[in-house]
Amino acid sequence: MTIHEGHPRRDSLLSRQKIVDAHKKGLLADSALIAHGRGEAFDYLLGERTIPSAKRAARESVNRLAAAHRPVISLNGNSTVLAGRDAVKLAALIGCRIEINIFYRTDSRMNLLSQTLNLMKNEVASDSPLDGISPEAWPQMVADVEILGMSPDAHIPGLEGPRAKCCSQGIHAADTVLVPLEDGDRCEALIQMGKQVLVVDLNPLSRTARTATVTIVDDISRAFREMIKIALGNLSAPDSQWDNTTILIDAIDTMGKASSTSFGQDG
Ligand code: ATP
Ligand code: MG
């Protein structure tokens, strides 16, 4: 598919195509298409841009990942397809593990996702390094990113069936998990385990968004680009007064204003 450079919704259309192509290759469950469509609707209301409160939440997430003892980035199918390369870059900068963890687990999809992510890891290692990172150090930083998920040997308490599976050295032992596009039940179960849960979810009303410790209400590709930029700069200690509700209310307000401005009722 060709989408001309100046198309106002180019990024969104390219992301949609990536999801469609990955679904055809067997990387994604059918429900992944529906989940993506729901995200697109919320992104349309946000104006397909990163709003200031999402930037604040992205900064808080990076600060918390960097301060954690055992940080893990959990990736599902959609997040691997849309932001896998950037997740590897962020993991290399923070020094953390990645666990592939999918809701509808099948061996075939797990194998395909693992192959895809390892391929992405090789590409990122041979790409030119990020600004300010030494070209000598970068390939090793990327090679050090462990990718877990293929041999789950632990369970998330409170969940049933395959979606409870996780790795003892990954999500199970983590004190802080960045889980883009998580499901509400699992987000609650991870919080119950005493973990800090950092999520990316375009729906500020979802159970995931409302249960998480920090919610980045943004598209996953933009959120990872933002977190990489932040990780390359100066970090601070986590904010002990972090109020996640204000982030959600700001996103809901922004979406509401978008609909009134469309009809000329701004201000
Ligand atoms: P919950 O289980 O948290 O109540 P849900 O069941 O309504 O949420 P799911 O179908 O589990 O939602 O997951 C899809 C979620 O992922 C939606 O909230 C959707 O807005 C979000 N989403 C989809 N695509 C993206 C994307 N590209 N970037 C960020 N969020 C996305
Ligand atoms: Mg759900």
Q: What is the CATH number of the domain that holds 88?
A: 3.40.50.12640
Ligand 2 centroid–CA 73 distance in Å is 19
Residue 182 lies in domain: 10-262
Please give the tally of structural domains in the chain.
1
Q: Structure pTM?
A: 0.95
pLDDT score of 99 = 97
pLDDT score of 264 = 63
Residue 4 belongs to some domain of the structure: no
Residue 206 belongs to some domain of the structure: yes
Residue 3 belongs to some domain of the structure: no
Q: Is the CB of 48 under 6 A from ligand 1?
A: no
pLDDT score of 67 = 98
* Residues near ion ligand 2 (Cβ under 5 Å): 183-184
Q: Is the CB of 56 under 6 A from ligand 1?
A: no
Residue 210 belongs to some domain of the structure: yes
Residue type, 257: K
Q: Per-residue confidence of the chain (267 residues) as pLDDT tens digits?
A: 677 888 878 888 889 999 999 999 999 999 999 999 999 999 999 999 999 999 999 999 999 999 999 999 999 999 999 999 999 999 999 999 999 999 888 999 999 999 999 999 999 999 988 888 999 999 999 999 999 999 999 999 999 988 899 999 999 999 999 999 888 999 999 999 999 999 999 999 999 999 999 999 999 999 999 999 999 999 999 999 999 999 999 999 999 988 777 666 554
Residue 197 belongs to some domain of the structure: yes
pLDDT score of 265 = 57
Alpha carbon nearest to ligand 1 atom 28, residue? 219
Residue 36 belongs to some domain of the structure: yes
